[in-house]
């Protein structure tokens, strides 16, 4: 078996030498490995060229959700399975798939794990494998990227700042010909069920059906989300509503902060999204 590791050296806050850990783990075994560290100016074309040149049996994303998204874009609708080594700040998709957060345990899974096809969501010109949103959380992601602290402490500081500074939006959702107008703190396009922090925003989400969820958070209802997470009771529809769909158009009266899989994309007025069924294969 040949494994190609796509390593993002800028992911997370750890001081582990990822190349050394991976090389040591597979030394003397029957797995052939190749390591490709993402350069600062890396493009999708460079990663695709590396995959084509390497001809691996499996490609492994070493980093956070953003690194996994890059690899997934290169392998859309291809049969090559994608492995995940969680080395980012939050590692939401790894947690979603039950992949061990301990790196050596995750490395063991690459050879022995089973494969599963999952869908992704095409959002404007991007793909989303985990969670995307307009509003509060996207503003939080923007703020988090400017802070020197990483990990959960940085996330807590960014959340506090966002709660004080972000304003609600006027949004319009067009789902299956029906139009819903609302004030909103945030609108999430949820492929997965929870953020990397463990906060479960989409309790009914599945990665292998042909639907995704729209989570309309009408006010700053983190307490409501925490209540659902702890008690498993349904959301209060006055605060949070969930819609299932395979396509949607979201419009905001004023430009709103927007993020995809933890990457801040700027401020936009309109989001169009649709499902790409069974688009990638992951090792779980």
How confident is the model over 190-228, as pLDDT tens digits? Answer: 999 988 777 778 888 999 999 999 999 887 665 665 565
Q: Give the mean model confidence (pLDDT) for residues 108-124.
A: 95
Whole-number pLDDT of residue 12 = 66
Helix ranges (H only) for the chain are 18-26, 44-54, 65-74, 92-96, 103-112, 136-146, 151-165, 222-231
Triad 175, 179, 180: Cα angle to 5°: 100
Share of the chain above pLDDT 90, in %: 63
Q: What is the pLDDT of residues 142-186, one digit of tens each?
A: 766 665 555 555 556 656 565 656 678 999 999 999 999 999 988
**Higher pLDDT among residues 77 and 233, named by residue:** 77
**What was the pLDDT predicted at 163?**
61
pLDDT of residue 139: 83
Q: Specify the pLDDT at position 228.
A: 54
**Concatenated DSSP letters for 117-128?**
EEEEEEETTEEE
What is the distance between the alpha carbons of residues 18 and 7, in angstroms, rounded to a whole number?
A: 8
Question: Can you say how many angstroms the Cα of residue 8 is from the centroid of all Cα atoms in its chain?
Answer: 15
Question: Binning pLDDT at 50, 70 and 90, where does residue 103 land?
Answer: very high
> Quick one: pLDDT at residue 280?
97
pTM: 0.85
Q: Please, what is the average pLDDT of the chain?
A: 87
Cβ neighbours around 137 below 10 Å, total: 27
Q: List the chain domain ranges.
A: 2-113, 126-276
CATH number of 2-113: 3.40.50.10330
Torsion of CA 119, 123, 125, 127, to 10 degrees: -30
Taking the C-alpha atoms of residue 225 and residue 206, their distance in angstroms, rounded to an integer, is: 18
Q: State whether the Cα torsion 202-269-129-196 is positive or negative.
A: negative
> Is the model's pLDDT at 118 over the cut of 90?
yes
- Quick one: pLDDT band at residue 83, thresholds 50, 70, 90? very high
Which residues, at least 6 apart from 78, have a Cβ–Cβ distance to it below 8 Å? none
Q: What is the pLDDT of residues 235-276, one digit of tens each?
A: 676 788 999 999 999 999 999 999 998 889 999 999 999 999
pLDDT for residue 203: 84
Q: For 126-276, CATH number? A: 2.60.200.40
Averaged pLDDT, 20-24: 95
């Amino acid at each position: 078996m040949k494994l190609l590791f796509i390593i993002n050296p800028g992911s997370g806050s750890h001081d582990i030498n990822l190349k050394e850990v991976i090389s040591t783990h597979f030394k003397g075994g029957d797995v052939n490995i190749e390591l490709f560290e993402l350069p600062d100016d890396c493009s999708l074309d460079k990663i695709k060229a590396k995959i084509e040149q390497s001809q691996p049996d499996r490609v492994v994303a070493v980093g956070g959700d953003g690194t996994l998204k890059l690899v997934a874009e290169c392998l859309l609708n291809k049969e090559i399975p994608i492995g995940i080594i969680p080395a980012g700040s939050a590692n939401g998709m790894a947690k979603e798939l039950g992949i061990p957060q301990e790196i050596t345990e995750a490395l063991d899974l690459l050879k022995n794990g089973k494969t599963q096809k999952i869908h992704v969501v095409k959002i404007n010109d991007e793909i989303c494998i985990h969670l995307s949103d307009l509003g509060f959380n996207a503003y939080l992601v923007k703020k988090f990227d400017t802070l020197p602290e990483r990990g959960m402490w940085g996330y807590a500081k960014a959340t506090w700042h966002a709660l004080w500074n972000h304003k609600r939006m006027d949004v319009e959702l067009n789902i299956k010909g029906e139009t819903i107008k609302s004030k909103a703190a945030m609108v999430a396009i949820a492929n997965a069920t929870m953020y990397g922090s463990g906060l479960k925003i989409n309790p009914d989400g599945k990665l292998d059906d042909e639907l995704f969820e729209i989570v309309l958070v009408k006010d700053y209802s983190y307490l409501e989300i925490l209540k659902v997470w702890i008690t498993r009771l349904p959301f209060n529809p006055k605060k949070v509503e969930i819609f299932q769909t395979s396509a949607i158009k979201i419009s905001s009266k004023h430009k709103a902060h927007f993020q995809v899989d933890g990457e801040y994309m700027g401020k936009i007025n309109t989001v169009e999204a649709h499902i790409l069924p069974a688009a990638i294969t992951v090792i779980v």
